[in-house]
């Protein structure tokens, strides 16, 4: 069972890493864009709509749609095969990118909302407003300040999301017929194979602990005060 879990974990981990990448980059970019343009009413409404759409798109709808498109039309992606990342990187990505995209949509919405809120908080600070009134470029002046304020909450959300991806890829693995931990868990649950369920839960819990430790270390990098307090 341990070997089975380990073999399947490679699929799930790759999905989680790719999904995490697809989550954080567009999420932060959209959040910055939305947060900065929030002063104008029209663009604020558009930003909110985009954000809510990301939070509302069911994985089973987007996933089903992608599987349908890939199996019906000629596209550079595949379903149902999973070539090794080392032997056939292109083929591997062709299989991994669509499910990773599906995994990332909800996360993009969460990261975007978090980033928007952080940007809004920074822009509302009196000294930032003062800079704005004097006509100085706010974003470049407070670039470091902005990043620091965004980094911590985004990191928190991202950590939670990564743990979710590791344990929660079941739906996507099922849709794309991938042999990952998630589909293993569902099969085990279906057949009432309790030791297998326990094994997956244990693996997910271990991943959860490791991710949280990494996140704590990263906090220290972003904000040295956290590290010092932790050491005391």
| Binding region for other proteins (CB under 8 A) | 45, 48-49, 51-53, 55-61, 64-65, 67-68, 71-72, 106, 159-160, 163-164, 166-168, 170-171, 174-175, 182, 185-186, 189-190, 192, 194, 197, 201, 204, 208, 212
Min CB(226)–other proteins separation in Å: 16
Nearer to other proteins, 92 or 166 (CB): 166
Give the Cα separation of 94 and 75 in Å (integer). 10
Nearest to 164 by CA among 176, 182, 178: 182
Min CB(179)–other proteins separation in Å: 16
Contact 169, 103 (CB under 8 A): yes
Nearer to other proteins, 63 or 142 (CB): 63
User: What would the DSSP string read from start to end of 95-113?
Assistant: HHHHHHHHHHHHHHHHHHH
Nearest to 165 by CA among 64, 17, 58: 17
Nearer to other proteins, 67 or 108 (CB): 67
Min CB(221)–other proteins separation in Å: 20
Min CB(176)–other proteins separation in Å: 11
Give the Cα separation of 202 and 90 in Å (integer). 32
């Amino acid at each position: 069972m341990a070997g089975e879990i380990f073999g399947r974990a490679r699929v799930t981990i790759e999905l989680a890493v790719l999904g995490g990448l697809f989550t954080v980059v567009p999420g932060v970019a959209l959040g910055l864009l939305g947060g900065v343009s929030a002063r104008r009413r029209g663009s604020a409404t558009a930003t909110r709509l985009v954000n809510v759409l990301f939070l509302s798109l069911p994985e089973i709808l987007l996933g089903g749609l992608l599987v349908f498109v890939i199996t019906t039309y000629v596209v550079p992606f595949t379903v149902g095969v999973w070539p090794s990342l080392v032997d056939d990187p292109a083929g591997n990505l062709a299989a991994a990118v669509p499910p990773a995209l599906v995994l990332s949509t909800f996360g993009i919405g969460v990261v975007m909302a978090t980033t928007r809120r952080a940007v809004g908080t920074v822009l509302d600070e009196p000294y930032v407003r003062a800079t704005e009134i004097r006509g100085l470029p706010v974003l470049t002046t407070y670039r470091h300040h902005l990043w620091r304020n965004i980094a911590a909450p985004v990191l928190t959300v991202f950590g939670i999301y990564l743990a979710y991806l590791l344990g929660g890829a079941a739906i996507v693995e099922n849709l794309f017929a991938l042999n990952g931990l998630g589909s293993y868990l569902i099969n085990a649950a279906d057949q009432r194979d309790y030791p297998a369920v326990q094994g997956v839960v244990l693996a997910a819990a271990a991943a959860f602990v490791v991710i949280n430790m990494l996140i704590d270390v990263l906090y220290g990098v972003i904000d040295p005060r956290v590290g010092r307090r932790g050491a005391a």
